[in-house]
Structure 1
Amino acid sequence: MPTHPQAYRPEAALTALGPTFWDPVAAADFPATQLRFRNDRAAAEVGLDTLTDAEWTEGFGRFVPLPGTLPQPLALRYHGHQFRTYNPEIGDGRGFTFAQLRDAQGRLMDLGTKGSGQTPHSRFGDGRLTLKGGVREILATEMLEALNVPTSRTLSLIETGEELTRGDEPSPTRSAVLVRLSHGHIRIGTFQRLAYLQDEDGMRALVGYVLRNLYGEESDDPLRLLDHVVTRTARLAARYMAAGFVHGVLNSDNINVTGESFDYGPWRFAPTWDPAFTAAYFDHAGLYAFGRQPEAIHWDVMQLAASLRLIADSDPLIALIEQFGPLYQLEITAALLWRLGVRPRTPEQDRALVQTMERALRTTATPMDRFFFDVFGGTLPDGYGDDWQPLRDALASYAPRKDRSHPYWQGSPCAMLIDEVEAIWSPIAERDDWSALHAKVARVRTMGEALA
Structure 2
Amino acid sequence: MANQSSPKFSNRFAQLPQSFFTLVNPQPLENARWIIWNSQLADKFGFPTDVPQNALKQQLCGETVPDHFTPLAMKYAGHQFGVYNPDLGDGRGLLLCEVADKQGKLFDLHLKGAGLTPYSRMGDGRAVLRSTIREYLCSEAMAGLGIATTRALGMLESDTPVYREKQERGALLLRMAESHVRFGHFEHFFYTNQMAELKLLADKVIDWYWPELASAENPYAAMFTEVMERTALMIAQWQAVGFCHGVMNTDNMSILGQTFDYGPFAFLDDYDPSYICNHSDYQGRYAFNQQPRVALWNLSALGHALSPLIDKAEVEQILAQYEPRLQQYYSQQMRAKLGLHTVCANDGEFFSSFFALIETTHVDYPRFMRELSNLDSGDGSAVVDLFVDRERAQQWLDSYLERTTLEVDNVGQPVSPQQRCQQMRSVNPKYVLRNYLAQLAIEKAEQGDFSQVNALALLLAHPYDEHFAYQDYANLPPDWGKGMEISCSS
Quick check: TM above 0.5?
Answer: yes
Partner SS, residue 258 of structure 1? coil
Letter of the aligned partner of 1:345 in structure 2?
Answer: T
Is 1:429 matched with 2:446?
Answer: yes
Output aligned runs, 1:63-212, within 5 Å.
64-65=64-65, 68=68, 71-167=69-165, 171-212=166-207
Per the alignment, residue 57 of structure 1 pairs with 57
Cα separation, 1, equivalents of 2:375 and 2:289: 25
Is 1:325 matched with 2:313?
Answer: no
Cα separation, 2, equivalents of 1:176 and 1:401: 46
Output aligned runs, 1:20-39, within 5 Å.
20-39=19-38
| Contact preservation (8 Å) 2:244, 2:267 | yes
Per the alignment, residue 374 of structure 1 pairs with 371
CA offset digits 1:384-420 (Å, max 9, x no partner)? 31133333333333347977679x99xx932322222
Q: 1:277 to 1:191 in 2, by over 3 A?
A: same
Q: 1:397 to 1:248 in 2, by over 3 A?
A: same
Partner SS, residue 433 of structure 2? coil
Partner SS, residue 330 of structure 1? helix
How far off is 1:136 after superposition?
Answer: 0.9
Cα separation, 1, equivalents of 2:239 and 2:27: 37
- Higher-Rg structure is 2
Q: 1:142 to 1:349 in 2, by over 3 A?
A: farther
| Contact preservation (8 Å) 1:115, 1:176 | yes
Letter of the aligned partner of 1:103 in structure 2?
Answer: D
How far off is 1:139 after superposition?
Answer: 1.8
Letter of the aligned partner of 1:58 in structure 2?
Answer: Q
How many equivalent pairs are there?
440
| Contact preservation (8 Å) 2:28, 2:61 | no
How far off is 1:12 after superposition?
Answer: 2.0
| Contact preservation (8 Å) 1:236, 1:260 | yes
Partner SS, residue 233 of structure 2? helix
Output aligned runs, 1:290-439, within 5 Å.
290-340=288-338, 342=339, 344-346=341-343, 354-376=351-373, 381-383=379-381, 384=384, 385-398=394-407, 399=415, 413-430=430-447, 432-439=448-455
Per the alignment, residue 410 of structure 2 pairs with none
Q: 1:310 to 1:286 in 2, by over 3 A?
A: same
| Contact preservation (8 Å) 1:57, 1:158 | no
| Contact preservation (8 Å) 1:17, 1:209 | no
Partner SS, residue 366 of structure 1? coil
Q: 1:394 to 1:336 in 2, by over 3 A?
A: same
CA offset digits 1:341-388 (Å, max 9, x no partner)? x37333977766654433322123211111121122776852231133
Cα separation, 2, equivalents of 1:149 and 1:72: 30
| Higher deviation after alignment, 7-16 or 157-166 | 7-16
Letter of the aligned partner of 1:362 in structure 2?
Answer: E
Cα separation, 2, equivalents of 1:287 and 1:56: 43
Cα separation, 2, equivalents of 1:182 and 1:20: 22
TM-score of the pair, normalised by structure 1:
0.90
Per the alignment, residue 11 of structure 1 pairs with 10
Cα separation, 1, equivalents of 2:106 and 2:342: 36
How far off is 1:315 after superposition?
Answer: 0.4
How far off is 1:77 after superposition?
Answer: 0.6
Cα separation, 1, equivalents of 2:50 and 2:67: 13
Cα separation, 1, equivalents of 2:56 and 2:351: 45
| Higher deviation after alignment, 227-236 or 152-161 | 152-161
Cα separation, 2, equivalents of 1:86 and 1:122: 17
Is 1:41 matched with 2:40?
Answer: yes
| Contact preservation (8 Å) 2:25, 2:65 | no
| Contact preservation (8 Å) 2:213, 2:219 | no
| Contact preservation (8 Å) 1:74, 1:97 | yes
Cα separation, 2, equivalents of 1:285 and 1:49: 47
Cα separation, 1, equivalents of 2:56 and 2:357: 48
Letter of the aligned partner of 1:262 in structure 2?
Answer: F
Letter of the aligned partner of 1:124 in structure 2?
Answer: M
How far off is 1:267 after superposition?
Answer: 0.8
Q: 1:208 to 1:248 in 2, by over 3 A?
A: same
What residue ranges of structure 2 are gaps of 5+ in the alignment? Answer: 385-393, 408-414, 468-490
| Contact preservation (8 Å) 1:80, 1:188 | yes
Letter of the aligned partner of 2:458 in structure 1?
Answer: A
Cα separation, 2, equivalents of 1:48 and 1:124: 36
Cα separation, 2, equivalents of 1:66 and 1:450: 43
Q: 1:347 to 1:140 in 2, by over 3 A?
A: farther
CA offset digits 1:271-320 (Å, max 9, x no partner)? 12211101111111111011111111111111110001122210011100
Cα separation, 2, equivalents of 1:61 and 1:403: 47
Letter of the aligned partner of 1:229 in structure 2?
Answer: V
CA offset digits 1:44-93 (Å, max 9, x no partner)? 2222234652144223212645675xx42111110000000000001110
Q: 1:439 to 1:102 in 2, by over 3 A?
A: same
Q: 1:301 to 1:325 in 2, by over 3 A?
A: same
| Contact preservation (8 Å) 1:377, 1:403 | no
Q: 1:360 to 1:443 in 2, by over 3 A?
A: same
Is 1:246 matched with 2:244?
Answer: yes
| Contact preservation (8 Å) 2:270, 2:364 | yes
Cα separation, 1, equivalents of 2:322 and 2:133: 34
How far off is 1:441 after superposition?
Answer: 1.4
| Contact preservation (8 Å) 2:148, 2:259 | yes
